[in-house]
Amino acid sequence: MPRKFGEIAFTPEVKAAQEQRGSRQTYERYIANGSANDTVTPKIAEFIAQLEGFYLGTVSSNGYPYIQFRGGPPGFLKVLDEKTLGFADFSGNVQYITVGNLSGNDRAFLFLMDYRHRKRIKIWGRAEYIEGESNLLEQLRVPDYPAQVERAIIFHVEATSENCPQHIPIRYSETEVEAMMAPLKNRIVELEQQLKQSAEC
């Protein structure tokens, strides 16, 4: 069990709930013996590189969480170093809720999900938005992706946690389905050609 995750997620109220329901001692032992898990490991970096989307959570000044899906081509969420992630903030519906939330509270959360392989990683940290720094924006820009980049969002990692695959449904993207169907379509074309040749004989 990651130690940093427990330090952030296991608030006094959570600990009380665990104590009441009999799981506190188990988690206390896991946390005490666990590694920090506060960096982006090569395994996590590999996981991030193939993602086409993730969920970003921020906190508003009135205390409500706000979760937004961020999507783009694989690799648009970039590992800048073992403690830092970044991505280009594309133009959207101009509500600027994430930007507004981060201006008042930099606590943030990333929920990374790979439905095809039934894997998920949670990352806690602090986030900031940066506007007008052309070098940083160029570093985060996705080549040949047509969306307009408005700013950079930088995420400073404080804790990571991988979850078990229980209850994660298997889902495939359109691109993945097309890749799986391609050999079958090619085989159908071959068989149709064979039938046509047989009929002509």
Using pLDDT thresholds of 50, 70 and 90, give the confidence band for residue 81.
very high
Give which of 60, 57, 1 is closest to 31, Cα–Cα: 1
CATH architecture, range 38-170: Roll (2.30)
Residue 2 has pLDDT above 80, yes or no: no
Kindly state the average pLDDT of the residues 57-64: 96
Whole-angstrom distance, CA of residue 193 vs CA of residue 92: 48
Residue 1: the pLDDT is: 58
Residue-level pLDDT at 45:
97
Of 20-34, 74-88, 143-157, least confident by mean pLDDT is 20-34
The pTM assigned to this predicted structure is 0.84
Q: Is the pLDDT of residue 11 over 90?
A: yes
CA atoms within 13 A on the CB side of 110: 31
pLDDT tens track for 112-145: 999 888 899 999 999 999 998 888 988 998 888 8
| pLDDT attached to residue 32 | 82
| Pairwise pLDDT comparison (97 vs 134), residue with the higher score | 97
What distances in angstroms separate CA 82 from CA 72, 106, 163, one per listed residue?
Answer: 22, 19, 20
Q: Which residues pair with 114 in a beta bridge?
A: 119
Q: Is the pLDDT of residue 20 over 70?
A: yes
The separation between CA 48 and the C-alpha centre of its own chain, rounded to angstroms, equals 7
Q: What is the pLDDT of residues 42-54, one digit of tens each?
A: 999 999 999 999 9
